Amino acid sequence: MATESGLPFAPVYGPADLAGWDPAARLGEPGAYPYTRGVYPSMYTGRPWTMRQYAGFGTAAESNERYRHLLAAGTTGLSVAFDLPTQMGYDSDAPIAHGEVGKVGVAIDTIDDMRVLFDQIPLDQVSTSMTINSPAAILLLLYQLVAEEQGVPASALNGTIQNDVLKEYIARGTYIYPPAQSLRLTTDIFSYCREEIPRWNTISISGYHMAEAGATPVQEIAFTLADGIEYVRAALASGQHIDEFAPRLAFFFVARTTLLEEIAKFRAARRIWARIMREDFGAQDPKSLMLRFHTQTAGVQLTAQQPEVNLVRVAIQALGAVLGGTQSLHTNSFDEAIALPTEKAARLALRTQQVLAYESDVTQTVDPFAGSYAIESLTDEIEEAVHALMARVEELGGAVAAIEEGFQKSEIEKSAYAVAQEIDAGDQVVVGVNRFTIDEEEPYEPLRVDPTIESEQRARLARVRAERDQPAVDAALERIRAAAAGTDNLLYPMRDALRARATVGEVSDALRDVWGVYTPTDAF
């Protein structure tokens, strides 16, 4: 037997499997170095994890309605999904955006849209996560400007931007600029938030999308932490001190149905990152050593066949995330393999977390699997395998150099192909797909996005351009170009342009004019 990462999975574990194992050195206490047992001493015995539901579709008004329903249902944090044009820094009326407006998330073109998106939502009371990468600075600034209009100071804002462009080159593809310029923008965000939005998590270094592309648990952790090292090095090279920015770094991982390996994966990741930050970078602040992470259940494991079975999958995945010590969690809706989740499906996904938190006993003790022969052995084995894979990335010159050679992408593709072969051969069981199938699926009515959204967004953009002070916008965009060609922090001129009602696409284009766009190297 083997784990998904290819590590040996023994049928029985016992004391011999932990020979030479020093609990004090390997584990520590909860909330203490090396954080194997969790980043906080009390973990969920004090309060549950933050319950987020990733949502966004169509217009800002439609998404705002969904957010208010989720908050009323008991979610404790918002998580914003943006449509593909927004993720790529294009306005809804750009030719390349045709057919994609509002499809996989909400369309945001200007501050007017952002204002509607958070209407009647008190931004000083809600933690907001935004899944946005290349244009992350733009959406963060729009959020800050809307909060300003609400009378909420930036110092009171709490949330996260994903802002992890390196994984886009590896697994997802929504990059815009070349890696060096993308890293410059990322470090400008670090510096800006330290001064302007001190409670904001400036990056969510993401392994989730690598896992969705086919990465094993070991690859997910190794490549994500290697990206983290690259961000740290870039921030240090920009003149920032390690303990100035490292406490606001966060991570984002997947939770699969392979419960035991996932629990061990999370524990190993915390331990590895703590040691890297202390031993390699000399961090002194305990918060700099903590690997705090958000988890999303594995969308790639959901099936369109017998979709109600996904409720069971998601419950198991969520349990793994909680037992592994996540700080916040999104549970996928059972119908996401078919279309955008309906309101009822999203509510059921949230209820899954609430049952875990309030009806089970998993919140009664910290790190309940500590000392388990199986979990501690798997944790050690994952740690060793992750170190070996990270060493290969370092041999290639670090994460960016390895990306440019196509190394991570190639390794993930090999793993994805191997899993596909196992499923096709029936060696890996997927209930309802290659075993326990039914002859006829029950009809299901998915949520459909209104096709008139694109024309509505175009009309909104036309009104904005007609009403705004165009010379002021042009001057603000020129200041962005000047900053991009120099060394000044980009977020200040970007903020001025957005306040003048420049669009997401116009600000992105100002940077494209100076930096160009990235053309990927084919994986070897």
- 485 domain residue, yes or no: no
Contact indicator for 312, 348 with CB cutoff of 8 Å: no
**81 and 67 Cβ atoms separated by less than 8 Å:** no
Rounded Cα distance between 121 and 151, Å, is 12
In-domain check, residue 287: yes
522 confidence band (pLDDT: 50, 70, 90) = low
d(CA 181, CA 270): 29
Is the separation of the CB atoms in 150 and 123 below 8 Å? yes
Whether 495 is in a domain gets the answer no
Residue 165 per-residue DSSP state: -
pLDDT digit string, tens, across residues 126-158 = 999 999 999 999 999 999 999 999 999 999 999
Kindly report, residue by residue over 417-442, the tens digit of the pLDDT. Answer: 999 999 999 999 999 999 999 988 87
Is residue 124 included in any domain, yes or no?
yes
Closest C-alpha to 108, from 48, 59, 168, 174? 59
- 399 Cα distance to chain centroid: 18
- Domain membership of residue 472 (yes or no) is no
State pLDDT tens for residues 39-92. Answer: 999 999 999 999 998 888 889 999 999 999 999 999 988 999 999 999 999 999
- The mean pLDDT of the chain is 94
Residue type at position 398? G
Phi-psi region of 397 (alpha: psi -120 to 50; beta: other; left: phi over 0): left
Q: Give the separation between CA 133 and CA 441, rounded to whole angstroms.
A: 38
Distances (CA, A) of 413 to 394, 409, 522: 20, 6, 12
Strand partners, 295: 253, 329
Backbone angles phi, psi at 386, to 5 degrees: -65, -45
Is residue 187 very low, low, confident or very high in pLDDT (cuts 50, 70, 90)?
A: very high
Q: Please provide the DSSP assignment of 275-342 as one string.
A: HIIIIIT---SHHHH---EEEEE-GGG--SSSTTHHHHHHHHHHHHHHHTT-SEEEPPPTTTTTSSPP
Question: Going by C-beta distance under 8 Å and a sequence separation of 6 or more, which residues neighbour residue 116?
Answer: 59, 60, 61, 64
Does the CA dihedral 272-275-278-280 come out positive or negative?
A: negative
* Mean pLDDT of the 234-249 span: 97
Q: State how far the Cα of 185 lies from the Cα of 172, in Å rounded to an integer.
A: 19
Decide if 458 is inside a domain: no
pTM score over 0.75: yes
User: What CATH number did the domain enclosing 396 receive?
Assistant: 3.20.20.240
Report pLDDT digits (tens) over 215-235: 999 999 999 999 999 999 999
Tens digit of pLDDT for each residue in 438-461? 988 878 777 777 888 999 999 999
Spell 110-128 as b/e; 16+ CB within 10 A means b. Answer: bbbbbbbbbeebebeebbb
Where in the sequence is the domain holding 118, given as residue range(s)? Answer: 15-425
305 in any annotated domain: yes
Count of domains for the chain = 1
Confidence of residue 520 (pLDDT cuts 50, 70, 90): confident
In a domain, 512, yes or no: no
What is the pLDDT, as a whole number, of residue 10? 85
Tell me, what's the pLDDT at 523?
A: 43
